[in-house]
Amino acid sequence: MDSRLLYVSRRRSSEADVRNIVETSLSRNARLRVTGALVASRIRFAQILEGPRPAVDALMDSIRRDPRHTEVAVLLYDDIDRRRFADWSLAYSGASVYVDRLIAALTARAPAQPDPADLRRLIQAIEELARARL
């Protein structure tokens, strides 16, 4: 069974850094059988990772240590029957004011439990941005 993890963070990286993240992630994720999508706005990152739990855990350990962002917050981590991003080792989308607002709403309530409706909206927005990039 696969897992899905959604995290958000505060960006501390240049556009060149983000290009490097995307290039590195494409091959690493494919090797680990992890799929997902990344949105990198001017202020924040939002990323969904889907795959075997040990692989997702290993990626999150690396992500938490990465100095190109701070305030990493896992908003969702659960088992799934099917992947939403099965066709992408990493679908990437740049800035999205809408996603920034959703992330701000979700993180403003921390450490309380995120609103499930806000989580669904964020996942749907990331999925729509990823599909638009095809």
- CATH number, domain containing residue 72: 3.30.70.100
Structural domain total, the chain: 1
CA 126 from chain centre, in angstroms, equals 8
Q: For strand 2-11 and strand 69-80, is the pairing parallel, antiparallel, or unpaired?
A: antiparallel
Residue 86 pLDDT: 85
Element (DSSP H or E) covering residue 36: strand 35-40
Name residues of the chain where pLDDT drops below 70: 94-97, 108-112, 133-134
- Going 92 to 37 to 72 to 50, the CA torsion angle's sign is negative
State residue 109's pLDDT score. Answer: 58
Q: What is the pLDDT of residue 87?
A: 82
For residue 130, the model assigns a pLDDT of: 75
SS3 10: strand
Q: What is the pLDDT of residue 32?
A: 93
Domain that holds residue 81: 2-132
pLDDT, position 104: 74
Kindly report the pTM of this predicted structure.
0.82
Summary mean pLDDT of the chain: 85
- Residue 74: its pLDDT value, please? 92
